[in-house]
Structures are given as C-alpha cells and as structure tokens.
Amino acid sequence: MRIVIAGAGEVGTHLAKLLSREDMEISLLDEHQERLGDLSANYDLLTKVGNPTSIHDLREIGVKDCDLFISVTPHETENMTACLIANSLGAKRTLARIDNYEYLLPENKKFFETMGLNHLIYPEVLAANEIEESLRTNWMRYHLHLAQGALELCVVKVRENAKVLGQTFSSGVYNHGKYRIVAIKREQETLIPRGQDTVEIGDLVYCICPKENMEYMREELGKSKREIKNVIFFGGDRIARKAATELSGEMNLKIIEKNRDLCNILSEKVPDALIINEDGSDMDVLKEAGIQDADAFVAVTESSEANIFACLAAKRFGVRKTIAEVENLDYIPMAEGLDIGTVLNKKTIAASYIYQMLLDASVRGVHNLTSADAEIVEFYAKEDSVITRHKVRHLDLPEEANIGGIVRAGEGILVNGDTQIIAGDLVIVFCKSHVIRHLERFFK
C-alpha cells in the first residue's frame, strides 16, 4: 500500500513513524526541510520538500499511484485543496484535517465525497470528546464504550483500599465473570497478566466489563463515585471550546484564557461559562477563580509543561480530578508518574483514527490508549478463520495481546480460556500497537 502524507507537523510525523513500521510505502511531504529533518535516515519512509497544493510537487511524490493521500497541515484550506488536487491526479482515497465542525455533520458527508474528499478528521473534537467522557465517569482514568456500548473499557488507578491487591490471577479470585483485567500498566511497563501476576498499589488496570457489572467492578477496585459540578478550564482553544459547549448547562464552567480575542469568542460560543481574561499559570489567578472549590481542572493550553504544572497546582489546592493535554510524547510517562488523572494527546488520537482505515476489512474499530502505548481493537470473526478453530487457550496468540470479550447477537460476553469464538462474533482485543498486523491473520 502506498500512502502520501502532506504536513510534517506533530500529527503527520507521528503517523508517518507509526506507519513506517508496517509493510507500506510511506512518503512525507512538507514545505520546510527542518521539519523533515533526518526522518528518511531513521525510518523506512521517503521525504520530500514541496508544497501540498502544488500540482508539480504532488506529481513528483507520486500521488497518482497512491492508495491514500493524507493532508494534515495546520491549515484547513490547504488540506482540503491538497486533497481535491490529489483526487484529480489519481489518489484512490483522501483524508483532510479540518477545523470546522460543520463539515463533520452527517448530512455533509456525501457532499464532500462527491468532491473527492473521502474522510475528514478534526483532532481537537476527538480530544474534546475524551474530556467530556472523563468528566462524566470521573472515578476512572479513561473510559470507552466498545461495540456501541455492549462492553466497556475502564482504566482505573489502584489505591491501597482496592480488594484486588495482592491476588494472583491463578488463584481464581478473578473467575467471577463480572469483569476482566486485560492489562496492567506498572511504571513504564505494560503487562499482559499471567497466572502468578498480581495487582499492586499504583497500577493502572485496564478492564473489560459489561455495563451492568460496572458498579461491582468499581467497588472491587476501591473507587468511590464523585459528582462533578464545578469545572475550571485553563486555556480556551478549540478543545476547550468544544468540550465546554457540550458540558454547558450540565456543569458550572469557568475558562481562564489570557488572549482577549479568544475570550471574546468564548463569551459568544459558551455564554453560560464564566470567562476570565487572565494567565491561568498565576497561582493568585487560580485562587481568585475559586480553584479550592473546583471538582475538576482541565489544562488544554498549547504548552505541555504549563498544563502539567497547572494540574499539579490544582492537586495542591485539593482538586480531585485533573486532565492535561500533553502533546510532547516524552512527557506523558512523567505526567502519569506525577499522578495527573487523565492525559490527552491529540496526535495519537488522530493517528489511531487514521490507522484504522488502513487495516483489514475484518477490523471494525481501533482505539488508541495513550497511557499504555497500546490499542483496543474490534475484530470480526469470519467463517473458518483461525480464531474460530480452537478455544482461546489454544490459539497461540501473540504474548502482547489479550482477548477481553466478544459481542454475540448484540450481547457483550467476557472471555476466558475455554471460550470458543464463532463466525460473526465481534472480538475485543487489547494489544500493543505493533501487534495489530500479526493479529489480522487470526481473523482472515
């Protein structure tokens, strides 16, 4: 498969590195040589200096032969124009990064497809959706509906009051059929639990659970429910704007933003929120904004460092739930080690969304888990595929993969070693990112 990516910013570069590990021919185009750096020397991909909207440059990089053209520069108009030209030159499919939410509305999908724009992605909206979900299910670090809610993924930080501490997986204590722990993140390592493994204080546990058993799981993991009513946002960019718009009326919102023009936009877009035109990194500003009375603090400025430190300050003031946008991938382990509740990275979210389109037709969905450098993948089991020939314990799956559950006839079912998967099942698999391709052969 040939893929051309226009834009060597954070999203484009991360995606190019991710795809270069696959058996694909990747080309990366950008106007600035310094952004391309020595990528071609360190990764299996071709780089070219050129303009994404130049017919000449697109021809030079071979757009006419590509299976997918992706334009993810910071400029929406440039991305859409590049995709239209690439489509006219022969690209089989196109994807553009946008910043206009109206374009994502279902009624506009066919309109853009007739123009040659097959897919549109708005990373900030995807990140805002995660903030909304995190605030609504605040006793978890991360929550994801799987297979339209047939099963749930719940990521929980284990404290000293959890009932599961010190229990080995071979002891039978987890054979209750209520939930299944598919992975454990311990410091910088992600573990697929085996018989003698135990859950320890400070672990992040990744659980698959039917919705009706979530209360049981919450009690087992020692978590308590907390109502979130008062939320402070630090930063008023598109992520904050979209999240605040959706939460307005449901929670009491304050947005601290030092850019006056942005404040004017926020006042218009989120009229129910209190907009504070100040620098949220100033402790006195946070006190005046009532940080000591906040139930949650969300830091989404352009600076990863400022977001991390602001969340740490909020923790000092007693805020229980903190969310930080951390775009520097190297900072994510540090942020989690500092016990910042939820860490967002919009480029990994966007890359996961795009990566999903490149997988085999048996894959229904891929969900990136930033904290674990892993994915939750939804596979369809086909007639006579390898996955249907043996019970789960005899499948010889990769060590870095774990089947959490299946959806059969709309019902979510947890998996154990004796489960027999049948054709038509939707299979929920936790795996390290580089294992997805190896798993595909089990479902063909």
pLDDT tens digits for 33-87? 988 988 888 888 999 999 999 999 999 999 998 999 999 999 999 999 999 999 9
What residues contact residue 35 under an 8 Å CB cut-off, 6+ apart?
Answer: 8, 9, 13
Region 139-220: CATH code? 3.30.70.1450
Do 326 and 301 meet the contact criterion of CB atoms below 8 Å apart? Answer: no
Average pLDDT in the chain = 90
Using the predicted structure, report yes or no on whether residue 347 has a pLDDT greater than 90: no
Residue 64 is predicted with a pLDDT of 93
Q: What is the pLDDT of residues 275-300, one digit of tens each?
A: 999 999 999 999 999 999 999 999 99
Coil, strand or helix at 358: coil
| Within this chain, domains 2-121 and 228-319 share the same CATH topology | yes
| CA–CA dist 28, 41 (Å, integer) | 13
| CA–CA dist 131, 159 (Å, integer) | 23
The model's confidence at residue 359, banded by pLDDT at 50, 70 and 90, is low
Residue 30 is predicted with a pLDDT of 95
Residue 361 is predicted with a pLDDT of 54
The angle at the Cα of 276, spanning 340 to 300, to the nearest 5 degrees, equals: 30
3-state secondary structure 25-62: EEEEEECCHHHHCCHHHHCCCEEEECCCCCHHHHHHCC
Using the predicted structure, report yes or no on whether residue 360 has a pLDDT greater than 70: no
Domain ranges of the chain: 2-121, 139-220, 228-319, 349-443
Do 301 and 275 meet the contact criterion of CB atoms below 8 Å apart? Answer: no
Instruction: Output the pTM of the full model.
Output: 0.82
Residue 187 is predicted with a pLDDT of 81
Residue 355, H or E segment: helix 346-356
Residue 79 is predicted with a pLDDT of 96
Region 2-121: CATH code? 3.40.50.720
Q: What is the pLDDT of residues 215-271, one digit of tens each?
A: 999 999 999 888 899 999 999 999 999 999 999 989 999 999 999 999 999 999 999
Is the CATH number 3.30.70.1450 carried by domain 349-443?
Answer: yes
Choose which CATH entry (3.40.50.720, 3.30.460.80, 3.30.1490.20, 2.60.40.1180) describes domain 228-319: 3.40.50.720
**Residue-wise over 285-321: b if at least 16 C-beta within 10 A, else e?**
bbeebebeebbbbbbbbebbebbbebbbbbbeeebeb
